[in-house]
Chains A and B, each alone.
Chain A
Amino acid sequence: MNDPFVCRLEEYRIAAEPFFLPQAKEIDIGLAASANRLPLLLKGPTGCGKTRFMQYLAWRLNSPLITVSCHDDLSTSDLVGRYLVKNNEAFWQDGPLTLAVRAGAICYLDEIVEARKDTTVVIHPLTDDRRQLPVEKLGKLYSAPPEFMLAVSYNPGYQSVLKDLKPSTRQRFVSLSFDYPPPDLEKEIVMREGGIDERLAVQMVKLATMTRSLKESGLAEGASTRLIIQTVKLIGSGIDTVSACRAGMLQSLTDDGELLAAMDEMIFSLF
């Protein structure tokens, strides 16, 4: 059989080095976790580079990266796999998790708290030293090869008490805490990703930092690195700075009139 399995897997391999600037020792820790076959928990606010980090790590380890965005309708079969019928013949199709286990890839479950709890129990035997994935329907128990790595992410900042990670789940992981990069680093990132000059990058980072100070004033979250880059791209396409900041960054943060007015004042002070 001209293995479709291999073809599919190749799609997940990251060919070129992704641009990633580390904030602390996350790369070392990530590599060490992989070497010791430990699963990773990435926590941090939205848009601060968690996904990008995984891409980088996958590239460094030369492993395919299989990402699953979790949602509340995700079923165990969606992760593990199912039989499908084609030309009156049934064939098994691996789910992303099984695919990753069998191939020794990295499986990254993004926003794990969004998934229903009964779905995520399948990862438990994978996260302790058994490192096994039972696939009931196949009657098989896959043991993960050393290269296999499980990583999950979650954003503790959403504050919803309904979506917290249980300690029993949490304590199986090596935790990497991400936050918005310090200004100098973030500036570099914005310059690289947005393709802009240093002066504008500094200003944009400043604006985002200002919004992050407003968290206790009722802003659910401050502007992320992702929002900065998005705004910078608008500017790059010829939108004037003020409109770009409003549309690309501030309006995405809140509907509160007073906070928007205050952030407007910040734009005018900066530009």
Chain B
Amino acid sequence: MDLFDHKRRFYAGVLPARPNTWDVDEVFELLAELDETRVQALLSYVGAIWPVSHSLCFAYLTHGAQALEQFPKEMLGEWVRQILALYESKGLLGARQFMADVDRFFLGPMRGVAGVAFEEIASLMVHYLRGISGRSIQFAVAQLPSTDTATIFLPGFLDTFPDKQHNVFLYKLLISLQWRQVESRIYCQGLAAKTDVLQLLARYPERQLSADLFAAIRFIQAFRSLESELPGLARQGRGLCLGLIQKIVPAGDEKEKSGALQDLLTQGIGVQDPVGRRALSTRSSWKFLATDGGRKIVDDLWHGAAFDVLPELYKIFSGLAGSYHLGAAALLLGEFDFTRAAETIRLRREDEKEKFVAMLAVFLEQQRQRQRDEDGGGNVPGSSPENLLLVRQKGQKENNSRGRDAILLDNEGLEVPAELAALLKEIQDDLGVLPEAYVQAAAGQAGRGMQKKENGSLEGENRFAPKDGHRYDEWDYRRAGYRKDWCMLTEKSLQPVRSGFVAGTLAKYPGQLNKLRRQFEMLRSRDRFVRRRRHGDDIDLDAMIEALGDSSAGLSPSDRLFVQLLRDERDIAAMFLVDMSNSTEGWVGVAVKESLVLLAEALEVVGDRYGIYGFSGMRRSGSELFHIKHLDEPYGAEVQGRIAAIGPKEYTRMGPPIRHVTRILQETRSSVRLLVVISDGKPEDYDDYKGQYAIEDTRKALLEARGCGVHAFCITIDKAAHDYLMHMFGKGNYIFVNDVLALPAKMAEMYRLITS
């Protein structure tokens, strides 16, 4: 067969599509290099890939030509299988990456080599980082390690070392090093210095050298801080670092500079072995370490600011001959993107300011209210809490001994909520002092507070507002007041779908289900013996003895002498409110639905009353609540069909559905009322319901629920625990689940924990 035949076969394979001949010609040019049998093999999978994606198919042919140089055509089937699987999970980009590096992604793992994808260990490392840092820092993939203080960037795949364990450990080390960079506040310093760090580094003629030396200094300092923070990691990591440092090679014949860099780093991580020493002393170019000046530099390295040490180090290095390639040592040095970090910090500070102002405003308003009540209306000027606050702070500048929070707390009668105090501390730690402007902004907001009430109209949206909707207020933190009847919520029902979803889920988790049934069995309203009853099934010996005692003492003994078998009723009504916004499309949605199936099975065992509703919607007039199961509706085919019908809709305005379901719960007669919200991230609507506004309204809605005696608990599915969660849901009132697959188990477990 020749080229023409190949093309004909290709066109036949993709019928009825008629791909662009240019694209086809381009690809087939590459195939011309291959021998006949390989081309045949390659083309035999076109029929399978083309229907999935045309672009994927062209990419397959392009990379396939090269790939077949690297492995026998018998392995092609497996290669294609992995491509398709990746396409499904990671899209075209993921599949392309996979195809582009056959040795690393395909052959490597087949040989049983040691590479690790970050994905494999991500959920472990999320917990690890959360634990060591106590913060919520995210992960993202990038070529080289770096951080912007909110996210740590790491390579998606590491195969630096010949066994897997070491590569996993390398990830852990890199994460820990970047965490130290975050903690060092180097980026905040850069921001505070007000000099453009980039320009600072660019001043040096050899720009790359200055950047590398800067990174080297920062690495050494980070490693040093690990020695005190995580001594075990530093100890075990030292050898690994040494291995990487030795990967630095000279570019060309001159070895001076690369050798010096190796020595600096080796010395830097505190390797003191005689071999290292000798290496240092024999290198003529690096004698300065032995001099006083040299020692001082090294000493400064440990303790000084990286920016201060850099000039001198640069001077020395620029005088050395040769050049170097960092190789894998680049992983240790990482990258420093000051612009990106500055932007992140700016955004975070803005966020914190907003949050702080909102909370302080509410707090001040409450204080003012209280004072008004106490004063009987007469507001004495100068005695309002915010004045007090400002006066106290002025006085504070003289005796700098205590933080601002102490001042707040010292004010008698001003009991600052724990959350506000925590945020205050965070801001103080970050900025050194609480900016006056924050307090003033809050005082201003609180002042405007209650006077401004929104009127009831749904400006311009009225026409679309359904008549049978429910109106709800919405909390506007900026004015510390409610917008009256701001939102409209409509109840709808989901059309049940017939599918194998429920049966499939039950079949998928047999072990899990057994365990759940057993555990919930134990929660069940059970019979228990109640002592000291008038009538009963047996004699209560304790009571009997007591009665004997009483009668001997001349008292008339109690007639409550029996134990009785009584049913211990669990009187719980639980409402599950499920996020049906479009972001739940895909795995999240499936996992949520599966969780509901397992949960329903478990709840049927224990016999608690429960309802399930979904929510979504668009704009304040378009909040929608989808009925899946009413509180006392039996769990049967209808409900199962509606669970199966849950699917992604529009946006996430959390306030109205929470308020609505709270109202439903209030009307039920159960003694314990529970609201469980399942969502996958920040509340957000199409209009201005986003950011702090949305968080504050959601928080308020949950507080209202708690105020009505409803216990509100939230489960959020996310890659990491964000800081806003605690603020929004309240400490101890939520869990986050980063592994969707674990959701079904975790959700039932959580329900069990909070109701036992």
Interface string of A77-94 (1 = CB under 8 A from B): 100001111001111100
The answer to whether A69 has its CB under 8 Å from any CB of chain B is no
The answer to whether B419 has its CB under 8 Å from any CB of chain A is no
Contact between B531 and A75, CB atoms less than 8 A apart: yes
Nearest B-chain residue to A207, judged by Cβ: B131
The answer to whether A269 and B756 touch (CB under 8 A), given A213-B131, A214-B131, is no
- Residues from chain B with Cβ under 8 Å of A213 in the complex: 130-131, 133-135
Nearest B-chain residue to A24, judged by Cβ: B409
Nearest A-chain residue to B574, judged by Cβ: A161
- In Å, the complex CA distance between A212 and B532 comes to 43
- In Å, the complex CA distance between A266 and B550 comes to 61
Interface string of A238-271 (1 = CB under 8 A from B): 0000000000000000000011011101111111
- Residues from chain B with Cβ under 8 Å of A85 in the complex: 545, 548-549, 552
- In Å, the complex CA distance between A164 and B711 comes to 10
Nearest B-chain residue to A164, judged by Cβ: B711
- Residues from chain B with Cβ under 8 Å of A73 in the complex: 531
The answer to whether B555 has its CB under 8 Å from any CB of chain A is yes
- In Å, the complex CA distance between A90 and B711 comes to 49
- In Å, the complex CA distance between A162 and B754 comes to 8
Nearest B-chain residue to A222, judged by Cβ: B131
- Residues from chain B with Cβ under 8 Å of A258 in the complex: 123-124, 127, 739, 742
Contact between A160 and B736, CB atoms less than 8 A apart: no
The answer to whether B132 has its CB under 8 Å from any CB of chain A is yes
The answer to whether A218 has its CB under 8 Å from any CB of chain B is yes
Contact between A266 and B231, CB atoms less than 8 A apart: no
The answer to whether A156 has its CB under 8 Å from any CB of chain B is yes
The answer to whether A23 has its CB under 8 Å from any CB of chain B is no
Tell me the residues in window 698-744 of chain B with beta carbons closer than 8 Å to chain A beta carbons. Answer: 711, 721, 725-726, 732, 734-739, 742
- In Å, the complex CA distance between A75 and B540 comes to 13
- In Å, the complex CA distance between A234 and B319 comes to 57
The answer to whether A90 and B231 touch (CB under 8 A), given A211-B131, A258-B124, A262-B127, is no
- A89, A209, A262, A267: the one contacting B124 at CB < 8 Å is A262
Contact between B552 and A216, CB atoms less than 8 A apart: no
Contact between A161 and B754, CB atoms less than 8 A apart: yes
Tell me the residues in window 17-38 of chain A with beta carbons closer than 8 Å to chain B beta carbons. Answer: none
Q: How far is the CB of A268 from chain B (nearest CB, A)?
A: 5
The answer to whether A217 has its CB under 8 Å from any CB of chain B is yes
| Dominant secondary structure of chain B at its interface with chain A | helix
The answer to whether B176 has its CB under 8 Å from any CB of chain A is yes
Contact between A216 and B545, CB atoms less than 8 A apart: no
The answer to whether B746 has its CB under 8 Å from any CB of chain A is yes
The answer to whether A159 has its CB under 8 Å from any CB of chain B is yes
The answer to whether A157 has its CB under 8 Å from any CB of chain B is yes
- In Å, the complex CA distance between A265 and B134 comes to 15
Q: How far is the CB of A107 from chain B (nearest CB, A)?
A: 21
Q: How far is the CB of B631 from chain A (nearest CB, A)?
A: 17
The answer to whether B172 has its CB under 8 Å from any CB of chain A is yes
- B128, B229, B230, B725: the one contacting A216 at CB < 8 Å is B725
Contact between A156 and B130, CB atoms less than 8 A apart: no
The answer to whether B200 has its CB under 8 Å from any CB of chain A is no
Nearest B-chain residue to A221, judged by Cβ: B732
Contact between B754 and A160, CB atoms less than 8 A apart: yes
Contact between A265 and B172, CB atoms less than 8 A apart: yes
Contact between B553 and A83, CB atoms less than 8 A apart: yes
The answer to whether A220 has its CB under 8 Å from any CB of chain B is yes
Contact between B711 and A161, CB atoms less than 8 A apart: yes
Nearest B-chain residue to A84, judged by Cβ: B549
- In Å, the complex CA distance between A135 and B435 comes to 59
Tell me the residues in window 131-167 of chain A with beta carbons closer than 8 Å to chain B beta carbons. Answer: 137, 156-157, 159-162, 164
The answer to whether B236 has its CB under 8 Å from any CB of chain A is yes
Interface string of B525-560 (1 = CB under 8 A from A): 000000110000000000001101111111100000
- Residues from chain B with Cβ under 8 Å of A89 in the complex: 552
The answer to whether B162 has its CB under 8 Å from any CB of chain A is no
- How big is the A interface, by class? 35 or more
The answer to whether B672 has its CB under 8 Å from any CB of chain A is yes
- A90, A210, A218: the one contacting B132 at CB < 8 Å is A210
The answer to whether A169 has its CB under 8 Å from any CB of chain B is no
Interface string of B106-144 (1 = CB under 8 A from A): 000000000000000001111110111111000000000
- A84, A220, A259, A270: the one contacting B127 at CB < 8 Å is A259
- In Å, the complex CA distance between A190 and B585 comes to 49
The answer to whether B674 has its CB under 8 Å from any CB of chain A is yes
The answer to whether A215 has its CB under 8 Å from any CB of chain B is yes
The answer to whether B395 has its CB under 8 Å from any CB of chain A is no
- In Å, the complex CA distance between A89 and B551 comes to 10
Q: How far is the CB of B519 from chain A (nearest CB, A)?
A: 12
Contact between B753 and A159, CB atoms less than 8 A apart: yes
- In Å, the complex CA distance between A137 and B737 comes to 55
- Residues from chain B with Cβ under 8 Å of A212 in the complex: 134
Contact between B545 and A156, CB atoms less than 8 A apart: no
Q: How far is the CB of B126 from chain A (nearest CB, A)?
A: 8
- Residues from chain A with Cβ under 8 Å of B131 in the complex: 210-211, 213-214, 262-263, 266
- In Å, the complex CA distance between A90 and B556 comes to 13
Contact between A214 and B555, CB atoms less than 8 A apart: no
The answer to whether A269 and B233 touch (CB under 8 A), given A83-B549, A161-B674, is yes
- In Å, the complex CA distance between A156 and B552 comes to 44
Contact between A90 and B233, CB atoms less than 8 A apart: no
Contact between B531 and A160, CB atoms less than 8 A apart: no
Interface string of B396-410 (1 = CB under 8 A from A): 000000000000000
Contact between A214 and B130, CB atoms less than 8 A apart: yes
Contact between B124 and A83, CB atoms less than 8 A apart: no
The answer to whether B755 has its CB under 8 Å from any CB of chain A is yes
- A157, A218, A266: the one contacting B732 at CB < 8 Å is A157
The answer to whether B378 has its CB under 8 Å from any CB of chain A is no
The answer to whether A159 and B532 touch (CB under 8 A), given A83-B546, A258-B739, is no
Contact between B232 and A268, CB atoms less than 8 A apart: yes
Contact between A268 and B233, CB atoms less than 8 A apart: yes
Nearest B-chain residue to A167, judged by Cβ: B709
- B232, B750, B756: the one contacting A271 at CB < 8 Å is B232
Q: Could you name 13 residue pairs across A and B whose Cβ atoms are closer than 8 Å? A: A83-B552, A83-B553, A85-B549, A90-B549, A159-B732, A159-B754, A160-B756, A162-B572, A162-B756, A213-B131, A262-B131, A269-B230, A270-B232
Q: Other CB < 8 Å A-B pairs besides A85-B545, A213-B133, A217-B736, 12 of them? A: A90-B550, A159-B753, A209-B134, A210-B132, A210-B134, A214-B127, A217-B738, A258-B127, A262-B127, A262-B131, A265-B124, A268-B233
Lowest 8 CB-CB distances: which A-B pairs, in order?
A83-B549, A90-B552, A262-B127, A210-B131, A90-B553, A269-B233, A269-B230, A161-B711
List A residues at the B interface (Cβ < 8 Å). Answer: 73, 75, 77, 82-85, 88-92, 137, 156-157, 159-162, 164, 203, 206, 209-218, 220, 258-259, 261-263, 265-271
